[in-house]
Amino acid sequence: MFENVVVGAGLAGLVCAINLAREGRDVLVIEREQRIGGSPLYHPSPEGTPIDLEGIKAYTGIDISPAVKKFTSGRAVVYGEVVPADMDAISSYMIERGPRSTSLDSYLYSLALKSGVKFEFGRGCFSPDDFMQLPPDSVVATGLHFEGFDSFLVPYLTSFHYLARKKIEDTDSTHVTIYHDDFTTDYAYTSSINGVLLAHLFQRYPIKKDALKHFQERVYITEGFEFDSWEHFTFPVPAASISNPRIFGGRTILAGTLSGCMEPYMFFGIHGALVSGKIAAIAVSDRGKAHEEFLKATSSFRSAYLLKKALSFVPKGVYGAALKAALRRLPEDERIGRFVKHGMLGWKNCQSVVAKKY
Ligand SMILES: Cc1cc2nc3c(=O)[nH]c(=O)nc-3n(C[C@H](O)[C@H](O)[C@H](O)COP(=O)(O)OP(=O)(O)OC[C@H]3O[C@@H](n4cnc5c(N)ncnc54)[C@H](O)[C@@H]3O)c2cc1C
């Protein structure tokens, strides 16, 4: 019988499991896929994030620097206008996700094995009954999958995605180009790492076919590449309610995306998943302390939620013109840096938790 069970071998689940095992506990991680690296539908994939490596190391006890790469280039394309970014100024990194040996998932998996964590692959929890069978204080970190949201009655919006990937010869390229345009009310981007090139268009409403065509054209004009085939799929995202961030589902502890840690404007994806994995591990022995840290880490969720709602009433043309005008007023080399510092509320939250630790 294991003392602690973690459901989901993604970023939050692995950070949590490593921390619990290092405390001397017997930890079992159960994972629906047959191997590490999440869903083959969208991994391997390059994911980009501003990250404070020292802060994350001090807070989670895990040095992820061997599994990240500095950006070689970055820019935003705002309604057709290219805005270059000084990536050094915002300490941003590209991270490979998925099953390959070069991914962050594989790196954390190897640390987990070294710490004595046990894994059962090809086993999942899919219904409220499955989750009820777990021992008390189990941690559920099942990411962007519907079953966790439905079982714990976490309100979600369905987000719609078009994604394309291909191999490239330049394995040193780590770029990101972020697109704000009429084709999405969220954003779209292309990115690369370790010879994988990805294009991803998403929004929290169904995407029209001509929007995909528009994005494809914009990518071709700006970057000169095309993709042979596109996958279309949907995810649950925890942006349906202003009070959505939650660390407890009854006697169970929630972590990562399921707990509301979702994306840069609310609580940064990768960064947030790593931080929330540590908070979940704290919750196993001290619910009060973990709850305090969690509230602090997710405190921008409300303002980000309200901002997003307000922006949804602004006509796209007006929004585009205002965004362009605001960017033009800033010195070129500071535009993206200031956007990250002031606009990414979730990223700022993460920092408020990790930065005090070193
Ligand atoms: C295509 C894509 C691109 C992204 N790009 C970025 C980016 O550029 N920057 C960024 O910061 N964030 C990005 N994100 C978001 C980021 O990946 C997530 O925020 C982060 O992975 C959340 O961590 P997690 O631990 O909650 O979930 P995950 O890391 O997704 O892990 C969830 C794990 O649980 C397993 N699982 C799911 N359901 C079950 C079940 N019922 N039973 C057992 N196991 C289960 C899954 O197979 C998976 O291994 C992206 C996400 C996707 C899908």
In this structure, of 146-155, 203-212, 315-324, the range with the lowest mean pLDDT score is 315-324
Whether 94 shows a pLDDT value over 90: the answer reads: yes
Q: What are φ and ψ of residue 177, in 5° steps?
A: -125, 120
* Residue 133 binned pLDDT confidence (cut-offs 50, 70, 90): very high
State the pLDDT at residue 73: 86
Is 327 domain-assigned?
no
Distances (CA, A) of 210 to 79, 158, 216: 16, 20, 10
Domain ranges, residue 132? 4-303+338-357
Write down the pTM of the prediction. Answer: 0.93
In this structure, of 50-64, 110-124, 171-185, 339-353, the range with the lowest mean pLDDT score is 339-353
Reduced to 3 states (helix: H, G, I; strand: E, B; else coil), residue 267 is coil
Closest ligand 1 atom to Cα of 269: 19
Whether 260 shows a pLDDT value over 90: the answer reads: no
Is 263 domain-assigned?
yes
Residue nearest to atom 7 of ligand 1 (CA): 47
Among all chains, which residue has been given the structure tokens 């006697």? 251
* Residue 354 binned pLDDT confidence (cut-offs 50, 70, 90): low
Closest ligand 1 atom to Cα of 39: 47
State the pLDDT at residue 349: 61
CA of 326 to the centre of ligand 1 (A): 33
Whether 267 shows a pLDDT value over 60: the answer reads: no
- The amino acid at 247: I
* Residue 74 binned pLDDT confidence (cut-offs 50, 70, 90): confident
In this structure, of 54-63, 90-99, 101-110, the range with the lowest mean pLDDT score is 90-99
Whether 109 shows a pLDDT value over 80: the answer reads: yes
Is 241 domain-assigned?
yes
Kindly state the DSSP code that residue 240 receives in the 8-state scheme: S
Q: How many structural domains are present in the chain?
A: 1
Top pLDDT among 331 and 265 is at: 331
* Residue 301 binned pLDDT confidence (cut-offs 50, 70, 90): confident
Give the pair of three-digit tokens for residue 149.
């949201």
Burial of 210 (0-12, 13-18, 19+ CB in 10 A): exposed
Contact 169, 195 (CB under 8 A): yes
CA of 105 to the centre of ligand 1 (A): 10
Is 289 domain-assigned?
yes
Whether 85 shows a pLDDT value over 70: the answer reads: yes
pLDDT tens figures, 328-352? 777 766 666 666 666 555 556 656 6
pLDDT tens figures, 140-158? 999 999 999 999 999 998 9
Give the whole-number percent of the chain exceeding pLDDT 70.
89
Closest ligand 1 atom to Cα of 46: 8
Q: What mean pLDDT is reported for the chain?
A: 88
Is 308 domain-assigned?
no
Give the pair of three-digit tokens for residue 59.
């807070």
Top pLDDT among 71 and 331 is at: 71
State the pLDDT at residue 358: 47
The set of residues, in sequence order, having a beta carbon less than 8 Å from that of 242 and lying 6+ positions away, is 301, 302, 305, 306
5, 39, 45, 47, best to mutate for ligand 1 pocket (most atoms within 8 Å of CB): 47
Q: What are φ and ψ of residue 302, in 5° steps?
A: -60, -50
Task: Give residues (CB < 6 A) around ligand 1.
Answer: 7-13, 30-33, 38-39, 42, 45, 47-49, 124-126, 141-145, 147, 163, 200, 256-257, 268-270, 273
Is 311 domain-assigned?
no
CATH number at residue 242: 3.50.50.60
Is 114 domain-assigned?
yes
Alpha-helical regions (H) of the chain: 11-22, 53-60, 104-114, 128-132, 146-151, 209-223, 269-285, 287-297, 301-312, 316-328, 335-338, 345-354
Query: What number of other Cβ atoms are within 10 A of residue 235's Cβ?
Result: 20
Contact 125, 134 (CB under 8 A): yes
Closest ligand 1 atom to Cα of 189: 8
CA of 330 to the centre of ligand 1 (A): 34
Is 236 domain-assigned?
yes
pLDDT tens figures, 9-50? 999 999 999 999 999 999 999 999 999 999 999 999 999 888
Cα separation of 341 and 343, whole Å? 6
State the pLDDT at residue 357: 53
